[in-house]
Amino acid sequence: MNARLDLPPRLALADRYTAVRSQTLALAAPLSEAECQVQSMPDASPVKWHLAHTTWFFETFVLATHVPGHRPFDPAFKVLFNSYYNGVGAQHPRAQRGLVTRPDLATVRAWRSVVDDQMATLLAMPLPPGVADLVELGLQHEQQHQELILTDVLHLLSCNPLAPVYLPLPPALASHPSVAPLQWIAQPGGLVDIGDAGSGFAFDNERPRHAQHLRPFALASRPVSQGEWAAFIADGGYADPRWWMSAGWDWVRQQQVGAPLHWRRSASDSAGWQVFSLRGLQPLQPDAPVCHIGWFEADAFARWHAAQHPGSPPSRLPTEAEWEHTAQAVWPQALAASNLLESGALRPLPAADEGGGLQQLAGDVWEWTASPYTAYPGYRPWAGAVGEYNGKFMVNQMVLRGGSCATPRSHIRASYRNFFPTDARWQFSGVRLARDA
């Protein structure tokens, strides 16, 4: 799989269209028709739905609007595969996506093929104003769904007591280098600018670039490791209300949470834990970043960590401004060393010990921040139906930064804002600590 996913970051639009679209199919390739059909929880979607909805995006927002005389593949699909765009019309209920067995997978693939041909024709001609941007948006949208395909499939397979494997683990990925010792990288703060400043693609929620005032702070050199998390569990971290937000403590007790999602007690493993992954059930990787934790857990860990180091400024989550300001300065190097989708690992890896400095800002695991997901000052949603893309979700969610081992390389940016509710755990989500200087 690695070779196939090894894409250059920027291509001509038509080539990029082809590359992104075929990467989606590659991700679905190891799955049976049945595995592309099932929806394992309301938050997840069937792979077939992802294949269809990403196609719906191009048909609805590009072809139907910008190709005169365009006729849809099937008019019923406009409602059936609309996710949440009220401006486009009605939607099939989200929790019932898995019940739509027809159109079958072959029909959805045929639809993809027809739309791809129509898009190729369009992209071969001079584009009307704004269309290139819409196509790029569609590709970025499809890349988000690529990551969701992987996390949704992981969740589905995790529901099977037989612990099936999405792709076998290559021997080279089973080794366990030692984790780099955690360092605190100091930052002076001050009045800094965050938000997208470039001329390339960015989502509306990354704009406008604006000033924020930061106190001096320090960021951990790497994310919290699985071994550190095992120590948190062993110390009774999930059973002590001191570490938890009030709502987090209610959640821990009601849901009986006692470990990251996909961790399983193992009598046969010396660490006492195994981790279910896209590679099947595997030993704990003490030196790799912990993954599949919710915000409540990240926040609780920071408070526990602070109590273990009473002489230091208390550990906490970084704000997204602290995170982005720090990342801006080292982003090219971070990308160069990153474990993103194209690495083919499909799971977080231990950081290479290269003599210090910031590691793993890009890739491996999304990093929960202390920042609720809100509009930047001066934020304006895009005009038209795509204005529903980001703005209407700016409440009751927390920002994650940096991308994961399931994020395509041409999709991630230092200014990229991912967001999920505090109890979401099925994404590749981890945590990097911060503290006041």
> CA torsion angle for 36, 41, 42, 45 (degrees, to 10)?
-20
Judged by CB under 8 A, the stretch of 18-26, 57-65, 209-217, 424-432 that binds a copy of itself is 209-217
Residue type, 106: A
Binding of residue 105 to a copy of itself (CB under 8 A): yes
Contact string (CB under 8 A) for a copy of itself, positions 243-282, x = contact: -xxxxxx---------------------------------
**Of 81 and 273, CB closest to a copy of itself:** 81
Binding of residue 210 to a copy of itself (CB under 8 A): yes
Judged by CB under 8 A, the stretch of 116-124, 156-164, 259-267, 282-290 that binds a copy of itself is 156-164
| Least distance in angstroms from the C-beta of 8 to a copy of itself | 34
List Cα–Cα distances, 233 to 172, 243, 258, 263, 300, in angstroms: 29, 12, 7, 11, 11
The correct pick among 37, 274, 282, 326 for binding a copy of itself (CB under 8 A) is 37
| Least distance in angstroms from the C-beta of 51 to a copy of itself | 13
For residue 366, the surrounding DSSP H or E stretch is strand 366-372
The SS3 call for residue 334 is: helix
Integer Cα distance of 48 and 35 in angstroms: 9
Binding of residue 375 to a copy of itself (CB under 8 A): yes
Query: Across the beta sheet with 263-265, what order do the strands follow?
Result: 263-265, 273-277, 280-283
> What φ, ψ does residue 347 adopt, rounded to 5°?
-160, 160
**Of 227 and 280, CB closest to a copy of itself:** 280
Binding of residue 136 to a copy of itself (CB under 8 A): no
The correct pick among 213, 254, 336, 355 for binding a copy of itself (CB under 8 A) is 213
Binding of residue 312 to a copy of itself (CB under 8 A): no
Binding of residue 17 to a copy of itself (CB under 8 A): no
Binding of residue 144 to a copy of itself (CB under 8 A): no
6 class by beta-carbon count within 10 Å (0-12 exposed, 13-18 middle, 19+ buried): exposed
| Least distance in angstroms from the C-beta of 242 to a copy of itself | 7
| Least distance in angstroms from the C-beta of 212 to a copy of itself | 6
User: How far is C-alpha 175 from the chain's CA centre?
Assistant: 25
- What residues contact 108, with CB distance under 8 A and at least 6 apart? 48, 51, 52, 55
User: What's 386's DSSP letter?
Assistant: G
| Least distance in angstroms from the C-beta of 316 to a copy of itself | 8
Judged by CB under 8 A, the stretch of 206-214, 328-336, 348-356, 426-434 that binds a copy of itself is 206-214
Judged by CB under 8 A, the stretch of 26-34, 57-65, 172-180, 267-275 that binds a copy of itself is 26-34
User: How far is C-alpha 271 from the chain's CA centre?
Assistant: 28
For residue 401, the surrounding DSSP H or E stretch is strand 398-401
For residue 22, the surrounding DSSP H or E stretch is helix 13-28
Integer Cα distance of 380 and 400 in angstroms: 21
**Of 225 and 390, CB closest to a copy of itself:** 390
Contact string (CB under 8 A) for a copy of itself, positions 51-80, x = contact: -------------------------x--xx
Helix, strand, coil percentages for the chain (3-state, nearest 5): 40, 15, 50
Give me the helices (H) in 309-405, please. Answer: 320-336
Judged by CB under 8 A, the stretch of 90-98, 265-273, 284-292, 337-345 that binds a copy of itself is 90-98
Binding site for a copy of itself (CB under 8 A): 32-38, 40, 48, 76, 79-80, 84, 86-87, 92, 96, 98-105, 156-157, 159-162, 164, 191, 210-215, 241-242, 244-249, 295-296, 299, 314, 319, 370-372, 374-375, 377-378, 380, 392-396, 398, 422, 436
